[in-house]
Amino acid sequence: MTLISATTREQIVNSMQDRAGCVENVKRTKSCDIRQLAQNSLSDLVTVNMEKCFQILEIPTDFFKEDVHMWEQHPSYQYGNKIANSLRVVNDHAERGIKLMQDFNRSLTKREEVFQDVLLTVQEHRKTVPNVKKTTLVEKYGN
């Protein structure tokens, strides 16, 4: 089953050949307007740097020279499809944040009822002091 149209596939291949990518090693995306990003097509996000992904995963790209309608039958495409479908999607930043919070929570107490009391105290504090800027705390609690 093909999820990407033949036209989009052709545009992606053209972008991989023509669209210049970043020279520097970018570890995170630059902030952008999400509405602008939503207006992009898939091929707008592809550059010549995409070739590196195929190299890293050791997927031959010879099927790019074939007609996009014939990719499904091409052994290189089938191999690449198998590799891509076996990849696990991981959000390292979110997982690290969760791990950090779990470790912090375990450092507070080992007993669940004490931990629940801590959570209730934090929740109550957030209601009484919605923003924890120094100026707000000075106003509320004085010097």
pLDDT at 19 over 80: no
Q: Are 20 and 47 in contact (CB under 8 A)?
A: yes
Residues ≥6 apart with Cβ < 8 Å to 76: 59, 60, 61, 62, 63
State how far the Cα of 53 lies from the Cα of 56, in Å rounded to an integer: 5
pLDDT in tens, 25-78: 555 555 566 677 677 788 888 888 888 889 999 999 999 999 999 999 999 999
Q: Where are the domains of the chain?
A: 6-86, 92-141
Phi, psi at 105, each rounded to 5°: -60, -40
